Amino acid sequence: MSDSTNDEASLMERPRSMIRLGLIVALIVMIMDQASKWWMLEGVGMLGNPRVIEVTSYFNLVMAWNRGVSFSLFWHEAEYMPYVLSAVALGIVAFLLSWLRKADRPFLAVSIGMVIGGALGNVVDRLRFGAVTDFLDFHFLGYHWPAFNVADSGISVGVALIVLDSLFGGHGADRGTGGSAKDK
């Protein structure tokens, strides 16, 4: 095989490996999210006996149902709302999957995978319960951050990493497109 054939094969394999990496990260985040929610609802018994469990002076385990999105934005009691929010989340996941196909660096693939896994974890809750299970409650001097879950953490950290990647990573002007300017 010539060097150019090897280079082409390498270029074709890299996006596949980035897709695989991103999807593995998404699956891990989703499994961790669903396992932690199951543990809170069934293992700790929050589903049948919601309460505040003080873990430290700044962290509690609580039972909260979020019928909206981040910080309960778009909260609505309409029966169709979980389906609307799930459809929006799945649309975002579709966009992220197309972006993941173009990712050419592991850092970006992992970041996108974290957001995908978190979004899918919360979709499972919305379709199963009509709301997202939140249970992590951090507080300081009487001020509480809104309760959240592992999926929310995956989304937040993934988005922060995507922003960092867009600012400091990549190939310059065509970042995230799967190639450098000299490749075009």
Report how far apart the first and last C-alpha atoms of the chain are (Å, whole number). Answer: 23
Q: Mean pLDDT score of the chain, rounded to an integer?
A: 85
Total-model pTM? 0.82
By CB neighbour count within 10 A (0-12 exposed, 13-18 middle, 19+ buried), where does 94 fall? exposed
Catalytic residue among 33, 104, 125, 134: 134
**Residue 165 annotated as catalytic:** no
Lowest mean pLDDT among 76-80, 109-113, 140-144: 76-80
Please, which residues bridge with residue 66 across strands? Answer: 132
Look at strands 132-140 and 59-66 and give their pairing. antiparallel
The single residue listed with the structure tokens 């169709």 is 80
State pLDDT tens for residues 142-170: 898 889 999 999 999 999 999 999 999 86
Catalytic residue among 152, 165, 174, 183: 152
The DSSP-derived string for 123-179 is: HHHHHHHSSEEEEEEEEETTEEPPPB-HHHHHHHHHHHHHHHHHHHSSSSTTTTSSS
Confidence class for position 80, pLDDT limits 50, 70, 90:
confident
**Residue 134 annotated as catalytic:** yes
Q: Which residue has the higher pLDDT, 58 or 8?
A: 58
Instruction: Locate the domains of the chain by residue range.
Output: 3-183
Q: What is the percent of the chain where pLDDT is above 70? A: 78
State pLDDT tens for residues 7-33: 555 555 667 899 999 999 999 999 999
